[in-house]
Copies of this chain bind each other. A is one copy, B any other.
Amino acid sequence: MAVGQVTFPVMHQVDGIELGTACAGIKQTQRDDLLLIQMREGSTCAAVFTQNAFCAAPVVVAKEHLQQAPRWLLINSGNANAGTGKRGLDDALSTCADLAELAGADARQVLPFSTGVIGEPLAVDKIKAALPKAFANLAEDHWEQAARAIMTTDTFPKGASFTLEIGGETITLTGISKGAGMIQPNMATMLSFIATDAKIERELLQACLARATELSFNRITVDGDTSTNDACVLMASGCSKVPELTEGSPAYQVFADAVLKICKQLSEAIVRDGEGATKLMRIVINQALDDEEAVRVAKTIAHSPLVKTAFFASDPNWGRILAAVGRAGVDNMDLERVDIHLGDVCIVRGGGRAEDYTEAAGQRVMNEPEITVTVTLGRGSASQEVLTCDFSYDYVRINAEYRT
């Protein structure tokens, strides 16, 4: 049940980046669940990982291998290889070694990623058996198959792709993501793989990705949980004719904004596919003292089960929003400066119900599938936005019945 119309976009190929899928039969036997991504030699690669203290085994290995010059990403769905102890680490390393042998490379050039059930041993034999097929399947035009291979509880494949023109030459950005709870510890969870043909050195690519994920993937939430497996990878093949991007240059700034744009598109797709979601809520906080305060208030609203169930019911229940603002831990909050808008309708002015507010006007906004809640704090000039979705019967059903 996705919010809004979701169509898989045209995916521009990225020179130097090939993708191959295969069915390893890890959890289901009817669909591809293994994805291999190959970067041409000389590519650079950046990645950000979950902040959960209990990283899954593949995250531990990928973080370490990122320091070498990775050439391959090896991703499986159906099993997260999380909560699997030392055996999990050995298993992740062994799949890297299997691929390295096939490719005639070093196991440290492979970054492993896993998504699926926690606490079950990884079916390394099944993965090893399917690897040759994925390797043989490598091609630059397999983005949609790739997006499908990494799905778990996702109801649709998630992709984004566009090109930039810089000085008459083109840079392409194409990426996929998966996830249908911001993070579901059990379906350990959010993964995104983005490729570009830009030429850019690793440290700068990493800085660019860190900023973009902070303002996109870290600004979405379905249920407030943080997975053991989350990762976002940005690969740059360097095949574009645009000269190498250097720090502070106008071309770099254009590129960095494009990376943010694709991260926002891919993260928004996850919220639209939020488990049981019927509405997309954009929580905008204006006039906060600083960004941290704005994000904190936005997330307190976005995580409130009471706010989320009210939105599911299309109920313009401003008392719940106001109470969430009040418990966000903001010092010296002045209720009389707080305004709240639902869409373009002012519902709270100066901390109380706006005099010109009518239930009909509020109801009209709440009946939309996408709703912007704007809270003005009257404390400063910082603004931030967080995306979330509502809380429905289906959220409970999906998460109550997941293992059965």
Instruction: Spell out A's residues near B (CB within 8 Å).
Output: 51-54, 82-85, 117-119, 181, 183-186, 188, 223-228, 303-306, 309-310, 312-313, 315, 317-320, 322-328, 330, 333, 335-336, 348, 350-353, 391-393, 395-397, 399-404
Closest CB of chain B to A352's CB: distance in Å? 4
- Are B352's CB and A119's CB within 8 A? yes
Question: Within the oligomer, what is the number of copies of this chain?
Answer: 2
Given A54-B322, A225-B304: A313 touches B401 (CB 8 Å cut-off): yes
Contact check, B403 vs A185: say whether CB atoms are below 8 A apart: no
Across the interface, which residues of B come within 8 angstroms of A188, CB to CB? 319, 323
CB nearest neighbor in B for A54: B326
Once the chains are docked, how many angstroms separate the CA of A83 from the CA of B352?
5
Q: Separation in Å of the A184 CB from the closest CB of chain B?
A: 6
Q: Which residues on the B side are within 8 Å of A312 (C-beta)? A: 396, 400
- Alpha-carbon separation in the docked complex, A281 to B183 (Å): 23
Asked if B85 and A351 sit within 8 Å, CB to CB, the answer is: yes
Say whether B353 contacts A309, CB under 8 Å: no
Are A228 and B53 also in contact (CB < 8 A) when A119-B353, A312-B396 are? no
A225 near B315 with CB under 8 A, answer no
Question: Is the beta-carbon distance between A323 and B117 smaller than 8 angstroms?
Answer: no
Residue of B117, B223, B305, B350 near A395 (CB, 8 A) is: B305
Contact between chains at A323 and B400 (CB < 8 Å): no
Contacting pair B52 A323 (CB below 8 A): yes
B186, A85: Cβ atoms closer than 8 Å: no
Contact partners of A305 in chain B: CB under 8 A: 223-225, 305, 391, 395, 399
Q: Is the CB of A352 within 8 A of B306?
A: no
Chain B proximity of A182: nearest CB distance (Å):
10
